[in-house]
Structure 1
Amino acid sequence: MSGLALVTGADGFVGRHLVRQLLGKGYQVRALDRAFHGAPENGAERIDADILDRTLIAAVLEGVDIVFHLAAMTALWLPDEGDYQTVNVEGTNSVLQAAIAAGVARFVYCSSFVTMISGPRVIRTIDESTIVEPQALFGAYARSKRRAERLVMEAALQIEPVIVMPSAPIGPGDHNLTAPTAFLRDLVNGKIPATIRQTTNFVDVELVADAILRAGERAEPGERYLLTGKNRPMSEFLGRVAAVSGLAMPSREVPYALAAFASLIEEKLLCRMSKSPPRAPYAGVRMAGRLFEFDSAKAMNDLDINLYPIDEALAGALLWLAKEGHLTRTMPALDQPQE
């Protein structure tokens, strides 16, 4: 499959990788974002626009064959939770309805694995058969993404919907310093003295972009795919970071209840007054505390891709952080950029 693709959120972490891969596969690409850090990939048509601008979005969609909708508010905490509804739900509906009106064939919506995390702290496996009601999810971000998923699926008679749900992408080029990249930065800088006992799930951003592209080309209409890497205990992931960076990682664990309580107090009292983000959003701590494992076998089988390799992405992320001046410590195991 090729043709004309629209990528919203094209200057985001996953978006930039997806645009490059689409161009490499011979697609014409319209790269849309409301705030570019720099020029998009050579060959992509740059479009500075807000997804809530229905008139402009309608014009942008003329002639488009497939939409990859990645634009979203992705932070787990915002001073005004109404922004999640405005951007993630209403913004998605804006692009979706315009795509239907323009006769676009396929709509690939990038959601998140957080739309599947709920319930008590018990060990269980999650796959695409897991369906969670929005009100049962942790935090306004997760609820907004789940509501947007529903909107997309409800349009199945008018457009071919496909939903992808990545876990925590890592790799180079994360100019917005999303939560996984910020976590790596703080680990290497020695700002995280302890962690909670949890199962982590990080995934290479290049593999995520590749899987999204493949889903756009191969998935049956109405499919949902978890794009998750290998489930690793936090201790194992920290061991990987230590091996790649050559730096010691924290070994102490904080009880989950204590971490959740501290996060709640910080968020409800200090952050509400200062309007500054918490060090660890309460919703994030609650999700991290679930002892869940994610099964991405369906995506790997249907899309013919292995989502488990992580060391190359980890090294790429750390080298990029060093190059961009985000690290305060030297990593003995990596060849770092010279001043």
Structure 2
Amino acid sequence: MTRVLVTGGSGFIGKHLVSALVARKRQVRVLDLRAPTHALPGVQSIAGSVLDPDLLDDALDGVDEVYHLAGLPGMWLPRKADFHAVNYRGTEVVMAAARRRGIARFLHCSTESILFHGSPSACAFADDTLLSADDMPGPYTRSKMLADQLALQAAASGFPVIVGCPTMPIGPDDHNLTPPTAMLRHFLGKRFQLYLDFVVNLVDVRDAAAGLILAMERGKAGHRYILGGQSIQLKRVLQLMAEISGCRGTPVPVPAPIAKGAAAMMELIADHVTHRPPSGTAEGVRIALRARALSIEKAQRELGYAPRPVEPALRETIACLLGAGESRPQQSLSASPHSRPLHPDRRYGV
């Protein structure tokens, strides 16, 4: 029986990944700061941080494969250096420990936001095309790009690392209200829906989890696979939400310059006055303005990845939101894979 460690296994994608691995008869161990909301029989849970090398060494005992999903999502933290510490340094610590243990396969879960080029005419079709860390729009994406580069450098040196890039996961059981679900909740039932229109790529969270397993099983070391669903304008998402929920608001598009200014002001107030997450950040708006349609052709061709239509998952998400009340989002080292109206900074993490 293959023995697997999933870092960040209590997060949204993580718990669906764990369920899928158990269904495939894998022996699963989870490392996360939080305990899973619903413990599965036979799954071992270890509470702790990916920044603890001694704990990691113990967690890797007897393990064959590692799925590294742990990371800090979102676009704002009181200490911006925490993005680098967790997303980059955490990946470095996990990968170093895995190499010492001689792990057979390592899957690094990255993010779509590092693939978007600054040029408005560029499309994020090239799975293996990387920008530099300096080209990233802010500290979150910079930390994720550095982690991605670290993973590919390890693969180039002979360590069997594959990179999976889920897009914006939606679906059932998002109890911690990850960024894509938070975006949908923000708009749900609003009379006036202020939004910055951009391309989003929504994917059923179960397909994202299945795609990570396919990447582990069939992916080529040193290659990146975009695990997305349907690329769609945010305006169309709002229309679908109204049709599904019966809650019809009035969408009000916001010009990019106003979105930029509003987000910068909200972030400034959060940094120096409230010290609480703002509704928007400059980095989030920059990502939205860069966003382009994503191609999953490589994952389809090489992995057999076949995501289902996104509308059923959107229906499930809305049904959960309408029945769940006011769940509040939480941040942890285990969040995973995005956006809101003026502030698409609540984008995926890993």
TM-score calculated relative to the size of structure 1: 0.91
Instruction: Report how many residues are paired.
Output: 326
Q: Which amino acid letter does the alignment assign opposite residue 254 of structure 1?
A: V
Q: What's the secondary structure of 1:193's corresponding residue?
A: strand
Unaligned runs of 5+ in 1: 328-339
Aligned position for 2:297: 297
Aligned position for 1:224: 224
CA change 1:148–1:31 in 2 (3 A) is: same
Asked whether the 8 Å contact 1:118–1:132 carries over to 2, the reply is: yes
Asked whether the 8 Å contact 1:185–1:326 carries over to 2, the reply is: no
Shift in Å at residue 271 of structure 1? 3.9
User: 1:267-315 deviations in whole A, cap 9, x for unaligned?
Assistant: 0234432111111222111111225111111112222122351112112
Q: Which amino acid letter does the alignment assign opposite residue 101 of structure 1?
A: R
User: 1:21-80 deviations in whole A, cap 9, x for unaligned?
Assistant: 000001000011111253432221111111111011101101111000000001211111
Cα distance between partner residues in 2 of 1:77 and 1:192: 25
Q: What's the secondary structure of 1:231's corresponding residue?
A: strand
CA change 1:192–1:155 in 2 (3 A) is: farther
Cα distance between partner residues in 2 of 1:76 and 1:41: 32
User: In terms of mean alpha carbon deviation, does 148-157 or 188-197 score higher?
Assistant: 188-197
Cα distance between partner residues in 2 of 1:126 and 1:137: 17
Cα distance between partner residues in 1 of 2:249 and 2:224: 36
After TM superposition, list the pairs within 5 Å mapping 1:83-98 onto structure 2: 83-98=82-97
Q: What's the secondary structure of 1:173's corresponding residue?
A: coil
After TM superposition, list the pairs within 5 Å mapping 1:48-67 onto structure 2: 48-67=47-66
Q: What's the secondary structure of 2:257's corresponding residue?
A: helix
Shift in Å at residue 124 of structure 1? 3.0
Asked whether the 8 Å contact 2:116–2:124 carries over to 1, the reply is: no
CA change 1:192–1:142 in 2 (3 A) is: farther
Aligned position for 2:342: none
Cα distance between partner residues in 2 of 1:218 and 1:272: 48
User: 1:221-264 deviations in whole A, cap 9, x for unaligned?
Assistant: 11101112221122222222122212214322110111111101
Aligned position for 1:276: 276
RMSD between superposed Cα atoms in Å: 1.7
Shift in Å at residue 169 of structure 1? 0.8
Asked whether the 8 Å contact 1:244–1:311 carries over to 2, the reply is: no
After TM superposition, list the pairs within 5 Å mapping 1:64-103 onto structure 2: 64-103=63-102
User: In terms of mean alpha carbon deviation, does 266-275 or 205-214 score higher?
Assistant: 266-275
Q: What's the secondary structure of 1:164's corresponding residue?
A: strand
Unaligned runs of 5+ in 2: 328-350
After TM superposition, list the pairs within 5 Å mapping 1:2-41 onto structure 2: 3-41=2-40
CA change 1:191–1:138 in 2 (3 A) is: farther
Aligned position for 1:208: 208
Aligned position for 1:190: 190
CA change 1:223–1:178 in 2 (3 A) is: same
Aligned position for 2:145: 146
Q: What's the secondary structure of 1:307's corresponding residue?
A: coil
Shift in Å at residue 194 of structure 1? 1.6
Greater length-normalized contact order (CA 8 Å, ≥ 6 residues apart): 2
Aligned position for 2:126: 127
User: 1:140-191 deviations in whole A, cap 9, x for unaligned?
Assistant: 1111111011111222234200001111111112222121110111111417
CA change 1:325–1:42 in 2 (3 A) is: farther
Cα distance between partner residues in 1 of 2:123 and 2:217: 31
Q: What's the secondary structure of 1:306's corresponding residue?
A: coil
Cα distance between partner residues in 2 of 1:214 and 1:75: 26
CA change 1:191–1:85 in 2 (3 A) is: farther
Deviating runs (4+, > 4 A) in structure 1? none
